[in-house]
Amino acid sequence: MAIRNVVQVGDDVLRKKCFPVEEFDENLCKLLDDMKDTVKKEEGAGLAAPQVGVLRRVVVVDVEDGYFEFINPVIVAQKGEQTGWEGCLSVRGKSGIVSRPMKVKLSYQDRTGEKHLLQAKGFFARAICHELDHLDGVLYIDKATHIEQN
């Protein structure tokens, strides 16, 4: 387990589309363990693999509902809307107002490759949407209607 460096906005790696995970192997476990250490240390609500320089469809989310690892995640349904503040470990010192779905249904795989479906609402849904955007090179600052320096 190790803390990895979090890439900052301006780095091309944050703007690329990530590839699906095909091998559920030791490298994936190491990446996930390091992402957990990193998001806990940085006190983030989530972290996506490109933020540690890895172009794979892997995110972790750490919210009141719990700590989650999502591999090859896809939002299969969404409902409602919420508008609120968001920040990002790759955009230090800022936060912005972003509209997101109020509820999402997520299909994903765990670290063993097993498939799951999960429903999330409120801030949990927001965190999922934010992290999944990272997998397609999208940052919240692209969607924010208002951005402030912290």
**Catalytic residue set:** 131
Q: How far is the CB of 118 from Co ion (least distance, A)?
A: 20
9, 70, 74, 12: which is closest to 36 by C-alpha? Answer: 70
From 8-16, 64-72, 85-93, 108-116, give the range in contact with Co ion by CB under 5 A: 85-93
From 3-11, 60-68, 80-88, 95-103, give the range in contact with Co ion by CB under 5 A: 80-88
Given the complex with Co ion, which of 32 and 88 has the nearer CB atom? 88
CA 91, 94, 99, 100 dihedral sign is positive
Q: How far apart are CA 73 and CA 42, in angstroms?
A: 23
C-beta neighbour count of 104 within 10 angstroms:
23
Given the complex with Co ion, which of 32 and 98 has the nearer CB atom? 98
77, 78, 41, 79: which is closest to 60 by C-alpha? Answer: 41
Q: How far is the CB of 52 from Co ion (least distance, A)?
A: 12
Judged by CB under 5 A, does residue 61 bind Co ion? no
Q: Binding Co ion by CB under 5 A: which of 14, 59, 88, 125?
A: 88
Q: How far is the CB of 90 from Co ion (least distance, A)?
A: 5
Q: How far apart are CA 146 and CA 107, in angstroms?
A: 31
Single-letter residue type at 102: M
From 7-15, 35-43, 88-96, 114-122, give the range in contact with Co ion by CB under 5 A: 88-96
Q: How far apart are CA 138 and CA 129, in angstroms?
A: 11
Q: How far is the CB of 3 from Co ion (least distance, A)?
A: 17
The two structure tokens encoding residue 137? 């090179």
Number of residues that bind Co ion (CB under 5 A): 1
Q: Which residues contribute to the site for Co ion (CB under 5 A)?
A: 88
